Amino acid sequence: MSTQQEQPTDADDAGTGQADDAADAGPSPQDRRMDKKADRRIERERAAGATDADAETVHLKVFRYDPEVEGKQEPRFDDFHVPFEKGMTVLDALIYARDEFDPSLTFRHSCRQAVCGSDAFFVNGRQRLGCQTQISDLDGPVRVEPLPHQDVVKDLVVDMEHFYEQMHAVEPYFQEEDLPDGDLEEQYQTRENREKVKMSTRCIWCGACMSSCNIAAGDNEYLGPAAINKAYRFAMDDREGEELKEHRLRIMEQEHGVWRCQTQFSCTEVCPKDIPLTEHIQELKREAVKKNLKFW
Amino acid sequence: MYEHDVIVVGAGGAGLRAAIAAHEAGADVAMVTKLHPVRSHTGAAEGGINAAIRDGDDWELHAYDTMKGSDYLGDAPAIETLAQDSPEDTITLEHWGMPFSREEDGTVSQRPFGGLSFPRTTYAGAETGHHLLHTMYEQVVKRGIQVYDEWYVMNLAVTDEPDPNDRSCHGVVAYDVQSGQIQGFKANDGVILATGGPGQAFDHTTNAVSCTGDGQAMAYRAGVPLEDMEFVQFHPTTLPSTGVLISEGVRGEGGILYNEDGERFMFEHGYANNDGELASRDVVSRAELTEVNEGRGVEDEYVNLDMRHLGEERIMDRLENILHLAEDFEGVDGLVEPMPVKPGQHYEMGGIETDENGATCVDGLYAAGECACVSVHGANRLGGNALPELIVFGKRAGRHAAGEELGAAEILTGYGDDVEDETDVGAPVEPGLAGIDETSPASGVAADGSGQTMASDAVLEQAVEAERTRVDHLMDTDDGVNHADIRSKLQRAMTDYVNVFRTEDGVKKALEIIRECREEYQRVGVSDPSRTFNTDLQMTYETRNLIDVAETIALGALVRNEFRGAHWRQENQIRDDENWLKHTMITWDDGAPSIWYRPVILEGEEKTYEPKVRSY
């Protein structure tokens, strides 16, 4: 399918030279997001009157494809006009279109609250979670496509197998075997260390980052931001010992590991959980160097 | 056909824990899930895991709090097992790397939760379920346990002897969502249902759209009783427009509820003079709706939950996720304004009747987690008690199914000598089957007249054929009714009439509408002609399950004419221990449901729990 290669429409603030920004102790992505949220709220309040008056229906343009149904084997866009309600998300609009107009409209979704990671779509040229995206924040018509750079199974459903394989390739599980004696004895961890891995543990495996990554698009074996972040989550967790950390860094510095990243920050931009993915990848590069490990 | 020792259906917290336990016990185990494991709704749990792991606390206090919270409808052997096993099973998660929040000394953090006498809710931010789910999935990957993801289980392969206690389960029938192929999964040692709750039976729910009660409905139709289904927890703090959950952790950390007049009504209107906002969930939900019904609600719909006084630092440290949820799904900034909240369906206390080893009355069929009813939660679940239930009883079911000896169960299952029949259900319409269902149940008796029980392969093969026939029928039905219309009608009826406050007339009205839904379902059809990722077909199956489960909720709500825990009846607003210290059991009886009762077990290991007035 050729839904790829569209440039994010609102990526102006992604800009260039962000690798330098990352090295500075500027505002954290979390702070930036909080600021952006405040701005968006003000914007929404300002626009509220106008929105209510002129946006009674939402115009959706939805990508359609089904390999075995006549008329859908050639990808096309279908138009749906859905009654707008305050607070409506892209997912709400899709559900309405499916339940009221076309039961064959197909997309993954489950929790409706940005934690199951099922409904990452390409909305108006950018990877977003359908449930987390307010219609009122988008320009119409709202164009909804499957995630770029992944095979389309049907409509908005993409094949996630490759993404899962990459996640599994980094030994994504805690491996420390030197545990405290006694079934009721916990391992100790400092608050600082827990804080250190906190953002990395928030990944919901939605695949938005991988889909946004130009390097992953060109190198199918590249582990990708989500899998590297998963490795970061364990490599930086002090509960795993030094030996394991070195083992994990060795995996990271393979040919298709961290050194492939060209710090374009697209993954960080689209992550719905605000994980500073690029910074995590950069930090693993530094750690690998620090350990004085030989890389390819 | 696929074949494994143990098949786990569902891959949320209970399913993952069961699979790991069965694997550790040496079984060849496979998980079959309609989602991918990390998409499971356990990931949305926020608050934490109750476990008595600190000095000054002990399992007996946890058991006592849970029994009191259950309004004396939990079974003591189940509750004591939960309280005893939770500490070790919680620490196991820590040993698997789960990123719990930490104290200054590096130990895992615990916080106060509603109805607890000790702050024993062990947490990882306000996203404990997400971390629990991912940590356990990681361990499944580590062990190389086979996962069939996006395979929808359509039915169980259970024999059909007249008495369900004589039946046995030999596997499941599932369909590969991506390709549409239907396959049998043979289970040599056991099938464990871990399919979660039926929240989608309601209109306003915190539950995912995937929470459709599939396991409960399948077990029910296979002859297993559903227990205490009328006890549905309505969480007091859900966002009004979407039902998204705002964790009890907000009140645990000191969040305050106000009505429109700015009154702290939990105290000022005397709902819970001691514990206020941290009273049990049923108490707070009723208080909120009473405020709204008496004209003190904001916009006549909700109340305000204020956490601003906790300060940004504490909120960011412990409740950051709540800020994002309130902003993304209600457009409210919890740092600068109170958050609107109202009660929403959250949890089904009842479920598939099991003993404390997860076993049902059908040989080889187990259940664990929200879909099961051991019964730990009785008439009301305490916050922080769902996650320990997943790990404690998931693990036990996995071990037992894999053949480990766990000792004889004290809790009885199946219709037996200890039960009491309901003779006057008083339903306004016939519950149960509408029309002829030629495709079920799978006949487990050989058709050659010999009366011989069929071999397990044949039972499974017959079940597979039945589902193939059903799918063909659904796909061939032109101009059929759309399942979505039936589902939304059902959801509205349940939220309108089987909500926090229930009346006899209202529940009867709901039963009538459920009957209409059943009749409309006779004409349901799947309009998507594709075999590829046909969610129309899957949701049509789910809607049938929702109808069956919703009916058991309404039937239970009709017969239980008392006020206990989450179940309130206008006609008799007292807890009636004289008549109602018993579980409501509903069996499908091949399409003509019957109701009976099993006494609650209040005798614990060392003491008997005496029902007391439940005040907070």
Bridge partners (DSSP) of residue B541 are none
Under 8 Å CB-to-CB from B180, ≥6 apart: which residues? B530, B531, B532, B534
Give the integer Cα–Cα distance in Å for B465 and A292: 62
Give the integer Cα–Cα distance in Å for B385 and B82: 9
Which residues from chain A sit within 8 angstroms of residue B42, using beta carbons? Answer: none
Contact B381, B69 (CB under 8 A): yes
Q: How far is CA B41 from CA A113, A199, B120, in A?
A: 10, 21, 23
Query: A103 and B41: CB-CB below 8 Å?
Result: no
CA neighbor of A118 nearest in space, from A133, A130, A131, A108: A108
Contact B248, B111 (CB under 8 A): no
Half-sphere exposure of B236 (CA within 13 A, CB side): 35
> Which of A:133-162 have CB within 8 Å of B?
134, 153-155, 157, 160
The dihedral over CA atoms of A151, A157, A162, A168, expressed in degrees to the nearest 10, equals 180
Tokens, residue B85: 């096993």
Query: A183 and B35: CB-CB below 8 Å?
Result: no
Fold category of B240-342 in CATH: Flavocytochrome C3; Chain A, domain 1 (3.90.700)
Which residues from chain B sit within 8 angstroms of residue A154, using beta carbons? Answer: 530, 532-533
Per-residue model confidence as pLDDT tens digits over B143-164: 999 999 999 999 999 999 999 9
> Which of A:182-201 have CB within 8 Å of B?
183-191, 194, 197-198, 201
Q: Taking CA A89 as the corner, what is the angle to CA A87 and CA A90, rounded to the nearest 5 degrees?
A: 155
To 10 degrees, what angle do helices B386-401 and B13-24 make? 30
Residue A43's pLDDT is 62
Residue B615's pLDDT is 84
Q: According to the 3-state scheme, what is the secondary structure of B539-550?
A: HHHHHHHHHHHH
At residue A293 the predicted structure's pLDDT band, cuts being 50, 70 and 90, is low
Residue B258's pLDDT is 98
Does A46 reach chain B within 8 Å, measured CB to CB?
Answer: no
| Residue among A112, A191, A202 minimizing CB distance to B208 | A112
**Burial status of residue A71 (CB atoms within 10 A of its CB: 0-12, 13-18, 19 or more):** exposed
- Looking at the complex, report in whole angstroms how far the Cα of residue A286 sits from the nearest Cα belonging to chain B: 24
For B594, the 3-state DSSP assignment is strand
Q: Where are the beta strands (DSSP E) in B194-316?
A: 226-227, 232-238, 256-258, 303-306
Give the integer Cα–Cα distance in Å for B53 and B107: 11
CA neighbor of B315 nearest in space, from B337, B342, B346: B337
Please list the active-site residues of B: 281
**Burial status of residue B3 (CB atoms within 10 A of its CB: 0-12, 13-18, 19 or more):** middle
| Residue among B41, B99, B536 minimizing CB distance to A111 | B41
Sheet with strand B121-122: strands edge to edge: B49-50, B121-122, B110-111
Domains for chain A: give ranges and CATH numbers: 53-158 (3.10.20.30), 161-173+190-290 (1.10.1060.10)
Residue in B with minimal Cα distance to A72: B530
- Looking at the complex, report in whole angstroms how far the Cα of residue A125 sits from the nearest Cα belonging to chain B: 20
Give the integer Cα–Cα distance in Å for B325 and B242: 11
Q: How far is CA B273 from CA B277, B504, B573, B579, in A?
A: 10, 30, 20, 29
- How does DSSP assign B513-538, residue by residue? HHHHHHHHHTTB------SSS-HHHH
Residue B82's pLDDT is 98
Q: Which residues of A274-289 are buried (b: 16+ CB within 10 A; e: fewer)?
A: bbbbbbbbbbbbebbe
Which residues from chain A sit within 8 angstroms of residue B138, using beta carbons? Answer: 172-174
Residue in A with minimal Cα distance to B135: A173
At residue A3 the predicted structure's pLDDT band, cuts being 50, 70 and 90, is very low
- List the alpha helices (DSSP H) in B198-347: 214-221, 249-252, 265-268, 281-293, 312-318, 320-330
Query: A118 and B39: CB-CB below 8 Å?
Result: yes
Give the integer Cα–Cα distance in Å for B391 and B136: 10
**Burial status of residue A82 (CB atoms within 10 A of its CB: 0-12, 13-18, 19 or more):** buried
CATH 3.50.50.60, chain B: domain bounds:
2-232+347-406
Which helix (H) or strand (E) segment is B185 a member of?
strand B182-193
CATH 3.90.700.10, chain B: domain bounds:
240-342
- In this structure, chain A runs to a length of 296
Around Cβ A159, how many Cβ atoms within 10 Å? 14
Give the integer Cα–Cα distance in Å for B451 and B445: 6
**Burial status of residue B266 (CB atoms within 10 A of its CB: 0-12, 13-18, 19 or more):** buried
Residue ranges, chain B, pLDDT below 50 = 442-443, 446
Contact B268, B355 (CB under 8 A): no
Give the integer Cα–Cα distance in Å for B380 and B71: 7
Does A81 reach chain B within 8 Å, measured CB to CB?
Answer: no
- Looking at the complex, report in whole angstroms how far the Cα of residue A105 sits from the nearest Cα belonging to chain B: 8
Query: A204 and B43: CB-CB below 8 Å?
Result: yes
> Which of A:266-295 have CB within 8 Å of B?
none
The dihedral over CA atoms of B87, B93, B97, B102, expressed in degrees to the nearest 10, equals -40
Name which CATH class applies to B2-232+347-406. Answer: alpha beta
Residue in A with minimal Cα distance to B241: A87
At residue A56 the predicted structure's pLDDT band, cuts being 50, 70 and 90, is confident
Radius of gyration of chain A (CA): 21
Which residues from chain B sit within 8 angstroms of residue A205, using beta carbons? Answer: 36, 38
Per-residue model confidence as pLDDT tens digits over A254-273: 999 999 999 999 999 999 99
Which residues from chain B sit within 8 angstroms of residue A99, using beta carbons? Answer: 482, 484, 488
Fold category of B456-579 in CATH: Methane Monooxygenase Hydroxylase; Chain G, domain 1 (1.20.58)
